[in-house]
Structure 1
Amino acid sequence: MKFTQHYSELQQKQVAILNAEIELFDINPTEYCLGWPLDQVNTILNGESPINPKKVLDKLWEHFFADFDAENFGTDSAISNTYSEDDKLVLARIKKRMQDKEFRGQGVTSSSIASRLRKTTGMVSQLLNGKYAANPSKYLHEVWAMLEPAGLDEKTEEPKQVSDIKPIRIRYGEVPFVHTSVPNLIKMACEQARDRRRIAVFAGQAGLGKTKGIERYCDDHDDALLIYGSEETASTQVLESLAIQLGIGKASNYKRLQKIINALKDSERLIILDEADKCRPNALDPLRTISDQARVGVVLVGNIKLIDKLQSEERYELISSRVCFWPSPVGELPVTDIKTLFFELTQNTIQVAEDNEKWWQWLHKRVEGNARMLVENLLPHLLTHIRKNPNKKVDRLMVNSIFSAILNKPTI
C-alpha cells in the first residue's frame, strides 16, 4: 500500500494492523466508522488521507485495542523483545477482550487465568504486561482461547441454509476417500507381495489412513481377500474369514486350510491382514503356510509395534524371513497430504488467513502430521464454526481455540 506524506511510520503500521483485523474478523463498516463518514474512514485506511490522520486513527485503534499502546508495534517498544509482532497482536486482542462489557464483573483476572493455565499469578501478570522473558506465544494463544472460544461468538447468527445445499459433514464411517501418500505406499506393498508371491509389511502410526488405503486397493482389485484383524483374531478367525470369502463350507481348521490352499494355488490373488499388530500370535501362522503352499502374496498392515513384533519376538522369525517388501514405518503424513485433506474434505469452502508454506507447516505440527486428528477432530469443528461465521478466515487463533476449548489439548 502506498501512503501519502501525512502518515508517520507508526501510523502506517496502525493502518496495516487495523485493515488486517477488519478483514480477519469481517468487521461491518458500521462498527468501525464510529460516526465518521464511511468514505472518510476508508480513505484513511487506504493510506490516502490528505491530512494527518491521527485523530481518526487513534479513535479506531482505541475501538479495536482499547488502551494497548500502538507504540508497542514500533521500534522502541516497551514490550519484551521475546514477543513477536504476532504475539503483540494477540496480546492487544486479549487486553481489549478483557475490557469488553460481557467480561466485566465475571472475575476474568490474572489470578483466574493463572488458575486455568496452572501457572502462578505473577507469571500471568508478566505475560499480560508484555514482560515475560521467555517465548510467550503458547501461553498467549491459550489465554486468547479462553476469552474467545471458537463457535461461541455471541454477535454472530447462524446463516440460513439454502434448501438445496446440504452442509458438509464429516463423521466416522462416512469420510470420503482422499488420495494421499499412504494409499500409494500400500499399493506398492500389495503389488510387491502379489508379484513376488511373498509377504509384504506396511506399518505406520495410528490415524494415518492405512485402512482407507487398504479398502481403496480392494475396491480397485476385487480379487484381493481382506481380513480385518482385532484383539480377538487368532488362526481360527483368519481361516474362517478366508473360507467365507472363498465360499468354503464349515470344516475343521486343518481341512479348511487345505481347501483354502487348493482354492488359491497359483491364482495370483492377494491376502491382506489389517491391524495385524493387534492379532493374537498364532494368527499369522496359517497365512505363512498358505503363502508358501499356494504361492500367493500376503500383506500385513499394522501399527508401529508390528515392526517390533516381527523383529524382536522369536515366534515371528519365520514371518520376517519371508518378507520381500518392508519400507520404514510411517510416523507422520507429509505437509502436502495435510493440505490435500484439508481442502478436499472441506470442498474448498474454507478460506485460510495465510495460505503459505509457513501456515501449512504450522498446521501439520498442530495436528501432529496425523490424518485422524485433522479429519475427525479439527475439521468438523472448523466447518461448524465457519458455517456460523461464513466470512471468517481460518487462522492460528481459531485452530488453537478449538484445540484448547473443545478438544482439551494445549495450544502451540
Structure 2
Amino acid sequence: MPNALPHFDHNEILVELKQSILNLKEKYTVNEMANTMGLSRSTLSRFINEPDYTSRDIEQRVKSFLNQEFHKVNPAASIGHYKSSISEMGFVPTQNAIQASAVLSGCMEYRDLGVIIGPAGSGKTRSVQEFMKKHPHSVIRIEGDDMMSTRDLIEEIGNELGIGEEVRYGTTRDRVRKIVRRLSQDPVMIVVDEADRLVNYSVKKLEMLRTIHDQAKVAIVLVGLPKLGTFLQRGPSMRENLSQLYSRVGFIVNLGGLRREEVMEMLAGYNIENNARDELIRIALDKERGGCRALVKALRRSLDLTDGHPITLEVVMEAKRMLLLERSRH
C-alpha cells in the first residue's frame, strides 16, 4: 500500500508513481486499475513499463487513484496538501489569456484601438484583471451594461480618471473635452469590458470612444461577446456605418474555448476522483455552457458539498443540477 509521497523533483516523483502502481498489481490487474483511472490498458501498461512515457493527464489520474487507495486503509490521512478553495486555484495562463494580454500590450505600447472577442466564460475579464495587476497605474477598466447611456459612460470614465465632478455637468461635447484634456496630460489605457452591451439601439457610445481615442491619442480596448465584432462592422441594426471606428482597430483577437490540458492545470491540487475530474473537464469544454466561469462555479459548489472530503462524480452531478448546468432533456 503506498505511503504519503515526499517532495521530490519530477523524475523522482514519476519513479515513485510507477512503483506504487506496480505494488498494487498484487491487488488489481492492470486492466482494472486502468478502467478505474479512465485510461486504456495499453496506456497504463506503457506508463508502468516505459521510463519516459508520461503526461500531465496520466500522472494526475494515477495520483488520484493512489490517493483513493490510500484513504481506503487510512481515511484520516492525506497525501500532501489539497487545495480547498477557489482562491487557491490561482491564475492559469491559458492560450486565451496569452492572446488577450498580447492585444492589451500592443495597444498600450502603440496607443492603438483594440478588440478582444470571446464567448462567455472564455476568461476575457480575468485576463484584463491580471494585466491590470501588472500595470496598476496605466489602465482603467469600465464595465458596460444595457442601461448605460452616453452620459453614464462619460461619468464612469471621469470617475476612474478622478474628474467625476468635472464631467457631471455640461454638454456631451464639453464633458468629452474635459476627459480628452485629462488623458492628454496623464495618458492611461481605457478597457471597456462587456462593450457589446453598450450597443443596443445606437452606436453613439462607441463613436464617443472613437473621439476620445482620436483626440487624446490613448489606447482603448473593447472587450465583449462575439456579436461585438458584428456590431463594429455593421452596427446593431446592420445599417449604421462604423467604418471610421473599425478602420482604426490595430489589434483584434477572437478567443476560443479552453483546452483540456489547461483545465487539468486548473484542477491540479484538488482532491478529485478521476471520474469526477472527467465530468468537470466536460463542463469546462462544453461549447455552449462551458468555459472558466462554469468550471469555477461547479468546482466551488463541489468543494462546498464535500467539506474537505474527496470530490466524487455524484457530488459534481449534484453541483451541476444546483447550478442548472445540465442540459434539459426533451
Provide the TM-score with structure 1 as the length reference: 0.51
**C-alpha separation in 1, matches of 2:296 and 2:281:** 17
Alignment check: 8 A CA contact 1:198 1:298 kept? yes
**C-alpha separation in 2, matches of 1:208 and 1:400:** 22
Higher radius of gyration, 1 or 2: 1
What residue in structure 2 maps to residue 251 of structure 1? 169
Deviation per CA, 1:38-57: give whole Å up to 9, x if none. Answer: xxxxxxxxxxxxxxxxxxxx
**C-alpha separation in 2, matches of 1:175 and 1:355:** 17
Structure 2 counterpart of 1:287, one-letter code? L
What residue in structure 2 maps to residue 325 of structure 1? 251
Alignment check: 8 A CA contact 1:267 1:296 kept? no
Alignment check: 8 A CA contact 1:230 1:275 kept? yes
What runs of 5+ residues in structure 1 fail to find an aligned partner?
Answer: 1-11, 25-84, 87-158
Alignment check: 8 A CA contact 1:338 1:369 kept? no
Deviation per CA, 1:283-308: give whole Å up to 9, x if none. Answer: 11221011111111110000111011
Structure 2 counterpart of 1:231, one-letter code? D
**C-alpha separation in 1, matches of 2:316 and 2:96:** 25
Match of 2:233 among 283, 298, 311: 311
What residue in structure 2 maps to residue 299 of structure 1? 221
Structure 1 counterpart of 2:207, one-letter code? D
Match of 2:153 among 238, 256, 263: 238
What residue in structure 2 maps to residue 409 of structure 1? 326
Structure 2 counterpart of 1:193, one-letter code? C
**C-alpha separation in 1, matches of 2:108 and 2:325:** 44
Residue 375 (1) aligns with residue 289 (2):
no
1:183 to partner: Cα distance: 2.9
**C-alpha separation in 1, matches of 2:146 and 2:89:** 25
Alignment check: 8 A CA contact 2:284 2:292 kept? no
Alignment check: 8 A CA contact 2:188 2:218 kept? yes
**Counterpart secondary structure, 1:278:** helix
Match of 1:272 among 181, 191, 206: 191
Alignment check: 8 A CA contact 1:194 1:268 kept? no
What residue in structure 1 maps to residue 180 of structure 2? 261
Structure 2 counterpart of 1:383, one-letter code? L
Provide the TM-score with structure 2 as the length reference: 0.63
1:180 to partner: Cα distance: 2.9
What residue in structure 2 maps to residue 168 of structure 1? 84
What residue in structure 2 maps to residue 214 of structure 1? 128
**C-alpha separation in 2, matches of 1:408 and 1:187:** 29
Change (3 A) 1:205 1:312: same
Deviation per CA, 1:56-94: give whole Å up to 9, x if none. Answer: xxxxxxxxxxxxxxxxxxxxxxxxxxxxx99xxxxxxxx
**C-alpha separation in 2, matches of 1:315 and 1:307:** 14
Alignment check: 8 A CA contact 1:404 1:410 kept? no
Equivalent runs, 1:12-411 vs 2, <5 Å: 16=29, 168-170=84-86, 177-221=91-135, 222-248=137-163, 249=166, 250-252=168-170, 253-265=172-184, 267-280=186-199, 281-313=203-235, 314-327=240-253, 329-343=254-268, 348-353=269-274, 364-365=284-285, 369-376=290-297, 378-387=298-307, 389-390=309-310, 394=312, 399-400=316-317, 402-403=319-320, 407=324, 409-410=326-327
**C-alpha separation in 1, matches of 2:89 and 2:241:** 37
Deviation per CA, 1:138-165: give whole Å up to 9, x if none. Answer: xxxxxxxxxxxxxxxxxxxxx99xxxx9
1:364 to partner: Cα distance: 4.8
Alignment check: 8 A CA contact 1:291 1:297 kept? yes
What runs of 5+ residues in structure 2 fail to find an aligned partner?
Answer: 1-24, 42-74
Change (3 A) 1:266 1:296: farther
**Counterpart secondary structure, 2:197:** coil
What residue in structure 2 maps to residue 111 of structure 1? none
Structure 2 counterpart of 1:251, one-letter code? Y
**C-alpha separation in 1, matches of 2:174 and 2:315:** 60
Q: How many residues align?
A: 254
Change (3 A) 1:262 1:175: farther
Change (3 A) 1:359 1:307: same
Deviation per CA, 1:75-129: give whole Å up to 9, x if none. Answer: xxxxxxxxxx99xxxxxxxxxxxxxxxxxxxxxxxxxxxxxxxxxxxxxxxxxxx
Change (3 A) 1:166 1:341: closer
Change (3 A) 1:336 1:266: farther
1:170 to partner: Cα distance: 4.4
Change (3 A) 1:243 1:175: farther
**C-alpha separation in 1, matches of 2:96 and 2:145:** 21
Change (3 A) 1:241 1:339: same
RMSD: 4.2
**C-alpha separation in 2, matches of 1:364 and 1:244:** 36
Alignment check: 8 A CA contact 1:276 1:306 kept? yes
Change (3 A) 1:276 1:179: same
